[in-house]
Structure 1
Amino acid sequence: MVSKFIVSFFAIAMISSGAIAQEQAAPAEAAPASVPAEENMLHLDLSTGGRVTIQLFPNLAPNHVDRIKTLARQGFYDGIIFHRVIEGFMAQTGDPTGTGMGGSELPDLKAEFHAFPHLRGVVSMARAQGDDSANSQFFIVFYPRFALDKKYTVFGRVTEGMQYVDAINRGEPPATPSRILQASVAADGKAPPVAGAFSPIPEKEITVDDLNAPINP
């Protein structure tokens, strides 16, 4: 019994050492190239006076982020108006017809609902009645709107230039619509369409009462 145990022990040891040697001899896989931070940042140059920077969330909504970046790089959003802007709620854009009924020629997206809340400055995908009907339209939230959570796909949040979002003309549609002059991925390094033409708008001070105010879309 003892001799059998010793033989088995040495056999296992030899197999294990061989496996370790093979593992050490195998070439290590190349680490995936890191994506520059600017690749997941979107710039919107607005007619309200300046550049809005949006941090995209590819880890939460990869397909929606890819769609927005694809359309931005195609120039799809350049010149499109904000066709539905509700005070105390949100500003919606992304429809080339300006009616709220249009979209891109790309297929509609499968929903990517998740737990990130609709806070001030959040950018979320608009859709029709079906969950999987988002295409090109999106909206930027003025004030928290938690009733939308897990019903619309959040794909980013404004990190700079929210004052230019606050200045978007209200209406459904507005009498004089504000528009996206240019949408671009930050990694592409596009300058604003007319350098130096924007007049600064001071950042609006948001109070606790503002954040807790009821929203009546």
Structure 2
Amino acid sequence: MSRDRFIAGGLFALGLAVVGGYAVSQFASPVMAQAEDGPGPNLVIEVAGSTSGQIVIDMLPDVAPKHVEQITALAREGAYDGVVFHRVIDGFMAQTGDVEFGKAGGDTRRAGMGGSNRPDLPAEFSNISFDRGVVGMARSQNPNSANSQFFIMFAPGTFLDGQYTVVGRVISGMEVVDAIKKGTGGNGEVTDPDQMVKVTVSE
């Protein structure tokens, strides 16, 4: 059964009804110290659309081994190539990774409701805070429903801590993240969204 897997949905469940306004008013224009590249693999995302460039994410297999294995396996298969950033909330986060319904050039109206041909994953919550540049897994209200979708934080969101699985940190290309086309309305759906044209894994 398809379920809407998204970070904003979790926020509504937590009682934060005005997601866009809350995120912008609380977290506008934060400064992020450059994260260092750790021992885990890197996810390299080539972005195209209204902006273009490369985002490099240091994956954290020591924190979320099952989630990192799933994301890197999907990337190596080419499953993420052409997937759009279907939900982008200014001052909060950019979400992508729906390999089932989020392919550019197709009907993306159901983007955010799909996953992949792999099973959903049990939560791997940690004590890592959702700072700017942190990458987390999108899910439905079921904590054990993350699959392929992930989101990148524009700004700190400590209210997400312990609620969503952290899988990585942006170590370069945060300016590309900041420039991803934003959605409209409180739910952040994007018209003619930017996409991940190519996603690879670098050890």
TM-score (norm 1): 0.67
Contact 2:47 2:55 in 1 (8 A): yes
Partner of 1:80: 83
Unaligned runs of 5+ in 2: 1-37, 103-110
Q: Deviations over 1:131-162 (max 9, x none)?
A: 10000000000000000001000010000001
Aligned residue for 1:185, secondary structure, equals strand
Contact 2:45 2:56 in 1 (8 A): yes
- Tell me if 1:45 matches 2:61: no
Select which of 178, 193, 214 maps to 2:194. Answer: 178
Aligned residue for 1:103, secondary structure, equals coil
**Larger Rg over CA atoms:** 1
Aligned letter for 1:42? Answer: L
Return the alpha-carbon distance in structure 2 between the equivalents of residues 145 and 175 of structure 1.
Answer: 25
Partner of 2:119: 107
Identity %: 51
- Tell me if 1:147 matches 2:147: no
CA spacing shift, 1:38–1:180, aligned 2, 3 Å: farther
Partner of 2:138: 126
Return the alpha-carbon distance in structure 1 between the equivalents of residues 88 and 145 of structure 2.
Answer: 21
Aligned letter for 2:88? Answer: V
Deviation at 1:101, TM superposition (A): 0.4
Deviation at 1:173, TM superposition (A): 2.1
- Tell me if 1:64 matches 2:64: no
Q: Deviations over 1:59-93 (max 9, x none)?
A: 11111110110000010100000000001100000
Higher fraction of helix: 1
Contact 2:40 2:58 in 1 (8 A): no
Partner of 2:181: 169
Select which of 90, 93, 116 maps to 2:93. Answer: 90
Aligned letter for 1:178? Answer: D
Relative contact order higher in (CA < 8 Å, ≥ 6 apart): 2
Unaligned runs of 5+ in 1: 1-36, 188-217
Deviation at 1:49, TM superposition (A): 1.4
Deviation at 1:40, TM superposition (A): 1.1
- Tell me if 1:158 matches 2:170: yes
Contact 1:95 1:136 in 2 (8 A): yes
